[in-house]
Each structure stands twice: as C-alpha cells, then as structure tokens.
Amino acid sequence: MAKAAEIFVETLVKAGVQRVYGVAGDSLNGITEAIRSTDGIEWMMVRHEEVAAFAAGAEAAMTGALTVCAGSCGPGNLHLINGLHDCQRSRVPVLAIAAQIPSAEMGTSYFQETKPEHLFLTCSDFCEVITQVEQIPRVLAIAMRTAIAKRCVAVVVIPGDVLTRECSSKAISLGIDQAAESVLPPPSALKAAVEILNGTKKVTILAGSGCANARAEVLALAEVLQAPIVVALRGKEYLEYDNPYFVGLNGLIGMTSGHRAMMGCDTLLMLGTDFPYSQFYPTDVKVIQLDLRGEQIGKRTRVDVGLIGDVKYTLRGMTPLLKAKKSGHLEDSVKAYKKVRKELDERAVIGKEKAVHPQYLAKCISDAASGDAVFLCDVGTPTTWSARYLKMNGRRRLLGSFNHGTMANALPQAIGVQASHPRRQVITLSGDGGLSMLMGDLLTLRQKKLPVKVVVFNNGALAFVEQEMKAAGLDMYGTEFAPQNFAKIGEAMGIRSWRVDQPEKLGAVLAEAFAHNGPALVDVAVTRQELSLPPMITAAQAVGFNLYMVKAMLHGNGSDVLDMAKTNLWR
C-alpha cells in the first residue's frame, strides 16, 4: 500500500497540476516528500504563504487550468487567506491545501490549532475536512472538480498525520479539465433583450473580463448597434486594441469619455462584467446584463433584462436578430475619447522640472516591453497608470488585484506567471508600499531563477490613500515613507538593480533591465503629487480638495499645492 500523501499527489498529477506553491512545514511533510519523489510535479517554495496563493491564482489566470497552493497548520494556512480571497474574487480555479494539527489533538487548543474549515468559508465555494485516508481520492477530486467547474477556490483541510498513513484507495482521474464552454439564456429572455435594443436609439456597451473569448462577437455587436464600448479594467486587455468603438474606462480610474458614453445612452448593455461602482452607472435608462453567473445580475444597478449565459455564444445568437442602427452616439463618444487620450498622452512626457512623472514611467514601460509581455500592477496609483498607459495588442496580458483590491499583489503574481511561462517577459509595476509589504519574495526570484522585471514607482508614500485623504479634505497623515533606495536592497539580495531619478536616463535603463537574462529591479523616483482624478468628481470631493489646499497653505505645506498647480492636475 502507498502512503496517503502519495495518493494525494498522484491525484493532483492526474489532474494536470504541475506545481504546488507554498512554505514547507511539519504538517506538510507528507505532501512535500511525495512531491519530491514524483515526476511531473514540483514544490514551488516561496517565502510567505500569501505569496503562494497569489502565485497560484496568477498561474490559473494565465492558463485557465487548476493550480494549487498549500499552507501548514495554524499560521501557515492562515497566511493563504488574503491571496485566496483575491483568487475567489477573480474567479480562477485554485485548490488550497490547508494542513491541520495532529488529528488526536484536534479540539484541545493544541499548539497552532485553528479551525480552517470555518476560516476559509468566505473565500471558497468548497471547504471540507479529510479525517480518514479513504476519503482522500474522492473528496480531493470533488474539490478539484468544483474549482474547475465554478472557476473558484476549493479548500481541503487535512491533518498532517493522516497524510503519512497507509492508504488502500487509488488515485482517480477527474474526468473534466475545464468549465462549460457554451451556456445560453432562455429564448424568452433573449427576445426581451432584442426588443429593447431594437427599440432604443443610443446604446452603450460596458464590457468586462467575461468577454475574454468573445472579442470578435463584441465588435460585431457594436458595429450593428453603432454602440461605443466602455471597458471595465479586467476587459482592457481584450477589447482596447484595434477597436474603433473603444471609448475608455469608467470608474475611479476611468476617463471622462467612458463616463460620458455611459451617462449619455438610452440603453446600457453589460457584457460579462461585475463593474462595482454604483455611483458611475446611469439612472433612468434601460439596462440589459449578460453574465455566465446569474447571481451577478442586478447586483450593481437595476436591470430590465437579465441574460444568464456566456458572452460569445449568446451574442452569436442575438446579433443576427438586431436591426442596424444609425446614431451620432458612437461618433460623439469616439470624438470625446480621442480628446481625452490626447490630453493623457501630453502628460506622459519629460516635464520642464526634469522629474520623473509616473505617467511617463508607465508609457516608457509599455514602449520598452516585448509584444507578448505580461504586466502585473500593484493596487493604488500603479493600477491607474497601467489602465491609462499600458498598450494592449491581443498578446500582452495585464493582471492585478482588480476585484479584491489588495496591496502587494504584483510581485507574488509575477512569480506564478513566470514559473508557468518561463519564456514570457514578465514585468511588475510595483508601488513602494506594495513591494515593501511582501518584499521578502524578491529572494524567490533569485533562488528559483525567475527573470521577473520589477519596476518600482517610488513616490515615498501611499499615494492613492493620500489622494483619498485630499478628496475628504484631510491632512495627509500616516502615509509617508522614509526615503528608500530599493535598488540597494535588490543588490543585497543578489538581483541586478538600477536606481533612476532623471527622466532622460529612464529609457536606456529599462532597455538594459528588460534585456537582462535574470531577475532585475528598477527603482524609479517618481513625483509624489500626481492626482489621478476620476471622470466624475462630486461636490463633496471638490470641497474636500479645496479644503485640503487651504489647510496645506496654513500648515506651511504650500509647496504641495504649487507642485500640483505646476503639473496642471486640477483641470
């Protein structure tokens, strides 16, 4: 008979799992030993379990296949939780192995004892405890099928001693490897949607990540409806490029053109998106929402017709039923977008003050990156500049924590992308706050020889939080970092590193770093006072900004206000 852990790992291999991300621990000894002695699978050691979950999620986002992370008992698997919340919100198939204390000690407040079966319920669709070796193949298979079919997180909790016991059961195959490809709404719902679209004059499409495999269908629909396409951030990589209907993003990091196109329509057609900001939706218009997950429909705004189905095949059935429209709505929206795009591009230049503006840095990264680069952006201002300045082309990818919105995601996600795609160029747009939070895993890049290129937007502060404080009329407090040269830290870790504080040197340094055959870090000192204003500013926010300016002058911080005025950020 084989050890239970061997059956466990063999089941993973049969499901196509090639690596398990985690930090070794005694309750995981059975798993790591079984992986060591099994061909076709490897243990991907990281320095923090949160990184393991992020890395697994990023690999799953890139491949669409099941990935695995693991944490030892107590604190070990607790560290997985934040990364798993991100995986769950992003709807990627991830299995988490949460090891438990010795089974005989459970319920006694033993050393490192927790209740993973309770703790992981909020970030998974499946969470079960295995207490007997005979459960392993079947329960593990159910967990993995759930993760694949629902594109979600599944958690298996198992005591370390159970993994080391003899097991008479055999590993089993899942019988599935991906979720359903085609799901269609009922004819009655499709008919109701077609009637609304044929009876309205101005239609705007709001498209998200659910359009990943439906680019051609979405563009064909936009042509028939003469509808501008506004994208949620997760839809940018699929629909921004070579798209005559694209008019920008909406939301906190959006553009006035995208907001205008949504507010100026008669009917809003939502395709595969869970765009969360209710204040950026139009009111008193017809709304049609198409989503594979029916529970998402009507969650953010009132909906007249809900269509449960995938975007690709539903549009193939719906578009031939629509009447071609003639409207100036698309022309006006595209004209507004071109104006906004021109204004944004004018800011991504070397200014007279010779400082490095983050807009310019983001544009330089985009220009220097390869045609199939994968970009990972930290939450905060790096996400804003990524949304506005990274150019997509159908081969590039852009990943981030766009639903969960957690700091420190870029470096861990880059590990998962580079490990699973060793020939792709992988670039992070890291904030100095985000990088410093999980900076220890720079060591993973060196140890695993992962040639990730880490670019740090070093503005010495939690810049996005500061912007929120300004909008509320508050003084900036608790957000400033002591000056830090991350290039020196990178060098101390054995990573080739550069420090840039002059914009004219940026292009050459990025070119050298991106060409380096190994991990590289570029620490760029960017200007701190850069406002990434949303497309809609409320009266309260305007009052808040004015109040902040007055306070700054009274408190002797007038230079902050002058800096913002110089960069023309208040228009």
- Active site residues per annotation: 49, 111-112, 379, 464
Q: How far is the CA of 285 from the CAs of 41, 264, 461, 474, in angstroms?
A: 53, 9, 41, 36
10 Å CB burial of residue 350 (0-12, 13-18, 19+) is middle
In whole angstroms, give the CA distance from residue 24 to residue 26: 7
Strands (E), 224-304: 229-231, 246-249, 267-271, 286-291
What values do phi and psi take at 173, rounded to 5? -90, 150
CA 175 to mean position of chain CA atoms: 29
3-state secondary structure of 34: helix
Q: How many CA atoms are closer than 13 Å to the CA of 391, on its beta-carbon side? A: 15
Q: What 3 state SS string does 376-398 have?
A: EECCCHHHHHHHHHCCCCCCCEE
Structure tokens at 19: 């690596």
Angle, CA 283 vertex, CA 281 and CA 288 arms, to 5°? 70
**Burial profile 391-411: b = 16 or more Cβ within 10 angstroms, e = fewer:** ebeeebbbbbbbbbebbbbbb
What one-character DSSP code corresponds to residue 74?
Answer: T
Angle, CA 41 vertex, CA 39 and CA 42 arms, to 5°? 115
In whole angstroms, give the CA distance from residue 508 to residue 485: 19
Q: Are strands 2-3 and 166-167 parallel, antiparallel or unpaired?
A: antiparallel
DSSP string, 304-334: SEEEES-HHHHHHHHGGGSPP---SHHHHHH
Give Rg (Cα) of the chain: 25
Q: How many residues does the chain have?
A: 571
User: CB–CB of 446/495 below 8 Å?
Assistant: yes
In whole angstroms, give the CA distance from residue 502 to residue 527: 11
